Amino acid sequence: MSTDLLRIYERLGSIARDALDYALSIIEPGMPILELCEKIEDRIRQGGAKPAFPVNIGINEVAAHYTATIGDRSVIPRDSVVKIDIGAHIDGYIVDAAITVSFNPMYNQLIKAAAKALEAAQFSMRPGVPVSMVGAQIERAIRSFGFKPIQNLTGHLIRRYELHAGKSIPNYDNGDRQRILEGEVYAVEPFSTNGSGYVDDSPSVTIYRLMKNPKPKDPHYDVLSYINNEIGPLPFTPRWLVHRFGNDVVKVIDELYSRGYIYGYPVLIEHGRGLVAQVEDTFVITRDGAIPVVNVLSLLR
């Protein structure tokens, strides 16, 4: 990896770390999720990056892919376990990281299980190691706490402007013999649960992505081309379009989604309605091992 790229990842790491640190300092029960998402996204922008995707807030059995909607009135519930998953990018180079906060000490072990799993993954990742071996380490750590890993959520190879660039880091030994290579960048995200260990798609969608370059004959070309120019192929939410197109943009996005012009990420819910914790960091693979870009584990201590 070039020194320029390493420098960008150093910057991204400190921006994401600051944003998560800031999130930890402001989050509390009763806080509107809309306010939380917008403040964290603003913090990323102030740091000199762009959000690589809308801030995901996952409460209790909601595992991933929920972000505040326009006019969202939901708040952080009491006694909840809350995942804060953020992305930042500079020129398409992406960092992806998440922490979990508990407002009931009963859930601390669930979070610790995910954190220990991330630590085990970090120590096992180096060039030549099959991805399933990292998954085995993640599963072993989570099961040692008496919880289950979520099997149908994975970490992922990251490339420029590509959040999920092919190879996955499973959260269990799935037998995938593809190897980790020097110079690659991976997000690794163990999810621990006291539920069934699977997530289901819910009917609700709050995060979308452009699927192809828009053409002038496409419906709502103004909205599509704005997304293409300002956000590109990375995920977005209608909230980000309101200042330009007004509140009606929700209907436009709905229409573009149902007509197949944009992709939607369903909100993911734990199948057994179990509680879910997630700890995620982005790692640069060097000859000597995996370097955490954000070092989220140090934020949890």
Query: For binding to Mn ion (CB under 5 A), which residues are involved?
Result: 85, 96, 98, 187, 189, 280
Cα separation, 276 vs 191, whole angstroms: 7
Q: Which is nearer to Mn ion, 186 or 240 (CB)?
A: 186
Q: Which residues contact 112 (CB under 8 A, 6 or more apart)?
A: 145
Minimum distance between the CB of residue 125 and Mn ion, rounded to whole angstroms?
Answer: 15
Minimum distance between the CB of residue 75 and Mn ion, rounded to whole angstroms?
Answer: 22
Q: Which is nearer to Mn ion, 87 or 214 (CB)?
A: 87
Catalytic residue, candidates 119, 189, 270, 281: 189
Please report, as a single letter, which amino acid is at residue 171.
Answer: N
Minimum distance between the CB of residue 239 and Mn ion, rounded to whole angstroms?
Answer: 18
Q: Which residues pair with 286 in a beta bridge?
A: 289
**Active-site residue 85, yes or no?**
yes
Cα separation, 126 vs 69, whole angstroms: 39
Catalytic residue, candidates 96, 139, 184, 281: 96
Q: Which is nearer to Mn ion, 12 or 98 (CB)?
A: 98
Tokens at residue 217, please?
């004959």
Catalytic residue, candidates 162, 164, 173, 176: 164
Q: Which is nearer to Mn ion, 119 or 189 (CB)?
A: 189
Q: What are phi and psi of 151, to 5 degrees?
A: -80, -25
For residue 62, the surrounding DSSP H or E stretch is strand 62-64
Q: Which is nearer to Mn ion, 16 or 187 (CB)?
A: 187
**Active-site residue 156, yes or no?**
yes
Rounded-to-5 percentages of helix, strand, coil across the chain: 35, 30, 35
Minimum distance between the CB of residue 98 and Mn ion, rounded to whole angstroms?
Answer: 5
Strand order in the sheet with 155-158: 168-169, 155-158, 185-188, 281-286, 289-292
Tokens at residue 196, please?
């069934």
Catalytic residue, candidates 61, 156, 220, 270: 156
**Active-site residue 280, yes or no?**
yes
Cα separation, 131 vs 121, whole angstroms: 10
Q: Which residues pair with 269 in a beta bridge?
A: 62, 200
Minimum distance between the CB of residue 188 and Mn ion, rounded to whole angstroms?
Answer: 8
Catalytic residues: 85, 96, 156, 164, 189, 280
